Each structure stands twice: as C-alpha cells, then as structure tokens.
Structure 1
Amino acid sequence: MKYFVLIMLCFLSIEQIVAQQYVEVEADSLYKEDQFYAGVTYNLLGEKLDGLKQSGFSLGFQLGFIKDMPINKRRNVAFGLGLGYSANSFNQNLLINRGSNGLVYSILDNETFSKNKFSNHLIEVPFEFRWRSSTPLNYSFWRIYTGFKVSYVVAHTTIYKGDLGTIKLRDIEDFNKFQYGLTLSLGYDTWNIYMYYALNSIFSDNVTINGEQLNMNTIKIGLMFYIL
C-alpha cells in the first residue's frame, strides 16, 4: 500500500507541473486527452456460493496509459484504447489445496484460519467510450468514461495459514487466464469514481464444491486518478 501512495504523490506532482506548462501554450484545436491513469479499488466477489464469505480488506491497484481518439469536432467525445497493469488480492474463506487426485476446494469455518487469500497480477487492455466537458484550454473538467476491459493473468498465488499449517500455491491451472468485464469512471478533474464488473468467472468451468460450479466473478469499486 505504501508503494501505491508514493505512486499517487508522484502522479499528482507531475500533473501540477504539466498543468502549469499548458497555461503557457496557445489553444490547440486538435487537442486530445491522452492520459496516464492510476487507481485503487476495494475488491469484491460476486456470485458466491452459500457459506463463502469475504473477510478483511481486499485491495487492488492499477496503472497504465490510454490513447485518446476524438470522434467529433468539439473533441469532447472520443474512444480510448490503452495498456495497463493491475494487482489484486481477495481475502475469503475458500481453501484451495492439493489432494491425491488434483486440486481440492472447500469452504472454511472462519475460526480455523488466520489468513486465507488469493491474489493475481494482470496485463490489461481497456477500451473506452469517453465524454468530457473539456475545451482546448480547460484541463479541469467533468468526465464519464464507460468501456470494456480485457485482462490476461500473468501470475497468481493462493495462501492459507491456519490449523492445517501454511499452504501456498502458485499459478495453479484452475484460474481463468483471460478476464473481461465492463468499466465506468466518472468524476471531476483528477478524482474519479471507478467501477469494474467482470463478465466471466475467476475460475475455470470445471471447478466445483459439493457438485456446485464455482462461478465467482470480480467486482471492483474505488478511485481513479488521471493526468495528461
């Protein structure tokens, strides 16, 4: 978390420098809102099975760059295409362990463990439809960006600490490598509310608990910061 705070401070400092430089230039009638972004989210699990619960604070952060492609004369409506990185953790009571016939999934009693989570690292490609109230000389404006994001999981880890000892697994085969979902950013100037809703499951279709398929998906709610 401390590294993310440092990144935020750097982003905000750069934004102030860039804003001061923009004041000195003439209006650009062909301006674009190419932007670096960074965000922090609270991560939720959707479509949970009965008895499966989250515990503690599940944190995520993301950063990247989006190329702006205006589609109207005023240039306040555009498409955006980007490339970014995301890291996420999910604290919950789903135990993932290796058995004699492969991976075994079970739901834990919260009193039997002190730590249980899975985390992932993703390369992301966001695509956005963008509206903003900007002008060539107005760099503080309202925005509504809706879109779709495709992500590839480059690494993931599960860790359990409790009555069974310590169980740590890396890059197991049952996690879906590709994740995709809907995004929404809205706000004013640097500060924006951000939401993401995954349209596919975190796990592959063959993962079941007591005969029920595990269709959990990712939901993120947080803040997004943009700088030019």
Structure 2
Amino acid sequence: MKNLFKVVFLLSFFTVFSQEVPNFEAVDSLYREDQFYFGVTYNILSSKPKEVSQNSFSTGLYLGFLRDFPINKKRTFAIAPGLGFSFKNYKQNLVIQENQGVMEYSTIPAGVPFDKNKLAMYFVEVPVEFRWRTSTYESHKFWRIYAGFKMSYLLASQSRYKATGIDYKVNNNPDIVKLQYGAYISAGWNQWNFYTYYGFDNMFEKGTLNGNPIKMNTLNFGLMFYIL
C-alpha cells in the first residue's frame, strides 16, 4: 500500500511540474526581422557631363543596423530606422587636381594611357525604411519589399589620378557635397535581395569642367543581405 501511495504521489508531482514548464512552441508575438544589413553595389554616375565617362568597375559597400518596429498585428508591416556606413568608389576619366587650394577639373583624353583614376567616398548614413514581408515567427525565408529614404554625411573623400610622371592626390575635396540624400528599394526572397538607390542631389557643390558646373548624381544597383 505504501508503494502505491508513492507511485500516486510521484505521478501527481510530475503532472503538476509538466503543466508549469513553458511552452517554447508558442507563437512569439514580439519577433522582429532583418536587424543587420550588408550590401554590395555597382555605382553609376547619372546625369554626368558629356565629357565624363566611367571605366572599370565602380563598387559600393554598405553595412549597418536597422531597428524593426512592426505596425500591424501579423507583423508583416514595419518601420525601421537605422544607422550605417558606406563606401562608394567611382572609376572614371574626371581628373581632380589641387592648385594652391583651388580644385581644378579636367578629363583624360581618349586613348591616353593611365594607371589609376578614382574617386572614393566614405559616409555615415541614417536610413528609414517602410517594410512589407510575408514573414512568420517560424521561418526566416520569405518575400520582402523594403522602400526607404536615407541621409548620408560625407566623412572623408579621396581622389587620385596616376599616370607616367603624374600623381595627383586630393583628400577631402571641399567641392563635394557633405550632406547627401536619396531613396532606395530592396526586394527579394530569403537572402537574395536586389537593391537600387538613387541620389537626389548633385555630388558636387562647386567646381566647373570646361566652364560648366559639374552636375552628377549617383545611381547604385546591387544586392542586399539581411541578418537577424
């Protein structure tokens, strides 16, 4: 009889304990998506002067953090502000030279050999996204469309033209616009997301080429990867 009471007691104990164990399979109503991002792009100079042309492959790199704030019960819509950094490199035939503190601009004549000519810029960025996705708490594989706007502040820039007997190097060109802004869209499935960004403002605040103001915008195409 004592053994029977012991068995009943143990069964009752385990029954109560099992009822108190959290159900880890329950729906997480507070899940968020896509907090970190990394991207790579091909950079195009848009609306550039007719004398300016690009050569080789102009790259862009993006890295940052976005805070996801869902705005509906299913958490398929969200707003996400963030902070990030970017590097944009443009390989083209626009030569930048500093002469007694004044920036001078010219182009490399067609057929003239040179070793290097590039313009590199480093930005800190503040993006804000409006997000739609088909996500659930159970899976990180889903369709997404993220449309955003971002402000970019120029931290540093460097241009360099190198040819036989010539080496022009300009750091932090004052003619380049410090605060730049534009719109972008990122869309895709799972890890693969196509990304497009268009800069609204002119890259150069000052500077002339053949007597005309230098007006160029940036247009970037590439891939964006998101990590929780």
d(CA) in 1 for partners of 2:101, 2:64: 41
Q: Which residue of 1 aligns with 2:212?
A: 212
Q: Which residue of 2 aligns with 1:89?
A: 89
d(CA) in 1 for partners of 2:39, 2:49: 29
Matches within 5 A, 1:38-187: 38-100=38-100, 102-110=102-110, 111-163=112-164, 165-187=166-188
Give the partner amino acid of 1:186: A
Q: Which residue of 2 aligns with 1:14?
A: none
Q: Identity percentage over the alignment?
A: 46
CA deviation string 1:116-149 (max 9, x = no partner): 1110111111111100001122211000000101
Contact 2:34 2:226 in 1 (8 A): no
CA deviation string 1:85-132 (max 9, x = no partner): 111110000011122471111121142422111101111111111000
Q: Which residue of 2 aligns with 1:201?
A: 202
Give 3-state SS (helix, strand or coil) of 1:194's partner: strand
Larger Rg, first or second structure (1 or 2): 2
d(CA) in 1 for partners of 2:101, 2:227: 50
Q: Which stretches of structure 1, 4 residues or more, deviate above 3 A after TM superposition?
A: none
Distance 1:101 1:70, change over 3 A: closer
Count the aligned residue pairs. Answer: 204
Q: Which residue of 1 aligns with 2:19?
A: none
Give 3-state SS (helix, strand or coil) of 1:118's partner: strand
Give 3-state SS (helix, strand or coil) of 2:215's partner: coil
d(CA) in 2 for partners of 1:25, 1:168: 60
Give 3-state SS (helix, strand or coil) of 2:67's partner: strand
Distance 1:101 1:40, change over 3 A: closer
CA deviation string 1:16-36 (max 9, x = no partner): xxxxxxxx7542122221511
Give the partner amino acid of 1:226: Y
Any gaps of 5 or more consecutive residues in structure 1?
A: 1-23
Any gaps of 5 or more consecutive residues in structure 2?
A: 1-23
TM-score in terms of structure 2 length: 0.85
d(CA) in 2 for partners of 1:57, 1:34: 29
Give the partner amino acid of 2:102: G
Contact 2:103 2:207 in 1 (8 A): no
Distance 1:94 1:25, change over 3 A: farther
Contact 2:67 2:80 in 1 (8 A): yes
d(CA) in 2 for partners of 1:65, 1:124: 10
d(CA) in 2 for partners of 1:105, 1:163: 19
d(CA) in 1 for partners of 2:26, 2:154: 43
State the shift of 1:224 in Å: 0.4
Distance 1:98 1:30, change over 3 A: same
